[in-house]
Amino acid sequence: MRHLSDGALRRVHDDRFAGSNREREHLDRCDRCRQRARGVAADATFAATLLARPEAATASTDAALARLRQRITEGAQAGRALTTPPRVAVRRWAIGAVVVPVVAAGLVVSANAAGWLSIFSPTQVAPVALTVGDLSGLPDLSGYGHMHLSNVEPREVAGAAQAAAATGLKALRPVLPADVPTAVRWEVIGNGSATFTFDAATADAAAVRAGRAAPAIPAGLNGTTVTVTAGPAMVALYGGSSAASSDPLTSTPTLVIAESVRPAASTNGATLQQLEDFLVAQPGVSAQLAAEIRAIGNASSTLPIPVIAGLMTSQTISIDGVQGVVTGDSTGLGSAVIWEKNGVVYAVGGLLSQNEVLDIARSLR
Amino acid sequence: MTVPPTVAEITDKAFDRVFRAEYARVVGIATRVLGDRSKAEDVAQDAFLALHSRHCSEQAWAGGWVCAAAAHAALNVLRADRRRSRREQLAASAAETIDPAVAAEQADDGRILRAALARLPQRAATVLVLRHSGLSYAAVATAMGVKQGAVGTMVRRAESALRKEVGRAASQ
């Protein structure tokens, strides 16, 4: 058989029963592998000696947890930390995803025969800086009217050809770094839409339940419906097992490549100026956030990418001849790059460095 | 009638469970990188705060995630510190708990280790710290987002690179 790999020799150093019987038998009689194993063991022991630290008495875990809880509470009061439970946080993200583009859309770009005004049809992306306080302070739209989300469950398909056929998009293939698994799963998502209808009666009832004053919904806004549509989309997941896996540990992909027909928003009543004036004036939308949104420029054609100050980094880059945004987790754990070209929004992200996701994004063919 | 727990209560319990299970290990990871107990505890606080803010702690990968986040954050602190100054980082608290002769020897080792870690590629330094902090091959694979079969090779290459870096530093 072939000589053992460096990785196999390293595993055997940790556990002499690691590997197959054939590998162990080979190691027993192959002088070359035994010599390599001694080198592996020497380096491993050297590293273990350097990295072994005497465990000084640790601070009490209880005290550390109490300190963290205190920070979370103080952060919530100061608007510095996101302390809402995940379900609420996700809902606020979803609301932010609706509010930010709607507020960002400063111009009415066209009107169709049915009277729906197309207010948002992005052709480029740009970062919008949010603080965690902004995020947790965004107004909860359920207190202003009715929201309806269409069911957009992802569906796994057999391969790239099926994903392309289901979405009408081209299934792009990347050049992968050596440590990204090549095994790929394809999922498709159909057309999705979210509608929100402003309703003064709902706002009054929500205010009574919350024991505070009702937000004043201008007469021109009452009854207006905003519709946001997106998709169809396809997602390629590299690494991780299928979603049906019983072990969530192994279902986390290393790399995700997504393509979607660009989102669009339209209204059937109030003007964009009314919507923008109303939403920007709500408590929780900071002056800084409003200024960031207004600074986008051609807002009706720009898809804002929310970037949370302190938790994420971002920069604009050039990719495939257009402007994109590369964002990263401030710990360096994960990164993503997002851009739009010819009516399609592309995103490449994963547990990789910003340079790695950029290289992968630029290799797509 | 028993009132069922809210989502927030379930999530808080899961977070506390992960915190209690992983806190000592996360502090250990950051201490290996920084050689400073106090800084390591700050890094651990930030890593758990990030977990609380961004992820549901009920996920089985939450423990691996917070270990990797702590390793990355600690390496970033190390590199920033080295850029700013060359000051010694050995924790006074650690020095108090061990024999002075051993402390002197380990202070030297700590300087060498930190210099080498700061020069290694981030992924190599991270895999070294995670593996030598006791994470299994499977846990390292999850934390690093790679296949388990690739971990042995990554550890081997990182250990070889560490020895070369230390040798290079010693010869200068």
Query: Which of A17, A333, A356, A360 to mutate to probe the B interface, most B CBs <10 Å?
Result: A333
- pLDDT beyond 90 at B161: yes
Out of A5, A249, A332, the one facing B61 most closely (by C-beta) is: A249
The conformation of residue A15, written as its DSSP 8-state character, comes to -
Nearest CA in chain B to A136: B53
Out of A40, A239, A248, the one facing B59 most closely (by C-beta) is: A248
Name which of B53, B59, B85 is nearest A72 in CA terms.
B53
Looking at residue B105, its pLDDT comes to: 53
Chain A contact for B31 (CB, 8 A cutoff): yes
The conformation of residue A309, written as its DSSP 8-state character, comes to B
Mean pLDDT taken over chain B: 78
The answer to whether A9 and B156 have CB atoms below 8 angstroms apart is yes
Nearest CA in chain A to B142: A249
- pLDDT beyond 80 at B42: yes
Please list every residue in chain B whose beta carbon sits closer than 8 Å to the beta carbon of residue A353: 122-123
Q: B169, exposed or middle or buried, with CB in 10 Å at 0-12, 13-18, 19+? A: middle
Looking at residue A236, its pLDDT comes to: 92
B84-118 per-position pLDDT tens digit = 654 444 444 444 444 545 545 555 557 788 888 88
pTM: 0.49
Please list every residue in chain B whose beta carbon sits closer than 8 Å to the beta carbon of residue A44: 155-156, 159
Out of A40, A48, A250, the one facing B156 most closely (by C-beta) is: A40
Q: Strand, helix or coil at A213? A: coil
Please list every residue in chain A whose beta carbon sits closer than 8 Å to the beta carbon of residue B8: 85, 88
Looking at residue A247, its pLDDT comes to: 40
Please list every residue in chain B whose beta carbon sits closer than 8 Å to the beta carbon of residue A88: 8
Name which of A348, A350, A316 is nearest A334 in CA terms.
A350
Please list every residue in chain A whose beta carbon sits closer than 8 Å to the beta carbon of residue B137: 11, 14
Tokens of residue A38, six digits: 């001694």
CB A43 to CB B163 under 8 A?
yes
Give the confidence band of B154 by pLDDT, cuts at 50, 70, 90. Answer: very high
- Taking the CA of residue A14 and the nearest CA in chain B, the distance in Å comes to 10
CB A249 to CB B16 under 8 A?
no
Looking at residue B102, its pLDDT comes to: 52
Nearest CA in chain A to B67: A333
Looking at residue A107, its pLDDT comes to: 26
Chain A contact for B38 (CB, 8 A cutoff): no
Tokens of residue B9, six digits: 């209560």
Please list every residue in chain B whose beta carbon sits closer than 8 Å to the beta carbon of residue A335: none
- In terms of DSSP H, where are the helices of chain A? 6-14, 21-29, 31-51, 61-78, 86-104, 132-137, 160-167, 200-210, 272-280, 287-294, 354-363
Residues 6+ apart with CB under 8 A from B125: B33, B71, B75, B117, B118, B158
Q: How far is CA A127 from the centre of its chain?
A: 13
Out of B45, B149, B156, the one facing A67 most closely (by C-beta) is: B45
Name which of A363, A355, A344, A259 is nearest A313 in CA terms.
A355
Q: What is the pLDDT along chain A (365 residues), one digit of tens a residue?
A: 688 888 889 998 888 777 788 888 888 888 999 999 999 999 999 999 888 865 555 558 888 898 888 888 776 555 433 333 333 333 333 333 433 443 333 222 222 333 455 556 667 777 777 666 666 666 666 777 777 877 667 787 888 998 999 899 999 999 988 778 888 888 888 888 888 888 888 777 766 766 666 667 777 788 888 888 888 889 998 876 543 333 434 456 788 899 998 888 788 877 766 777 777 677 667 777 777 766 655 556 777 777 777 667 788 889 999 988 888 876 666 788 999 898 899 999 887 888 889 999 999 99
- In terms of DSSP H, where are the helices of A298-349? none
ipTM of the complex as predicted: 0.78
Chain A contact for B115 (CB, 8 A cutoff): no
Residues 6+ apart with CB under 8 A from B38: B91, B93
Over residues B147-168, mean pLDDT: 89
Looking at residue A250, its pLDDT comes to: 46
Q: Strand, helix or coil at B148? A: helix
- pLDDT beyond 80 at B150: yes
CB A55 to CB B93 under 8 A?
no
Q: What are phi and psi of A54, to 5 degrees?
A: -65, 130
Chain A contact for B167 (CB, 8 A cutoff): no
d(CA A280, CA B61): 38
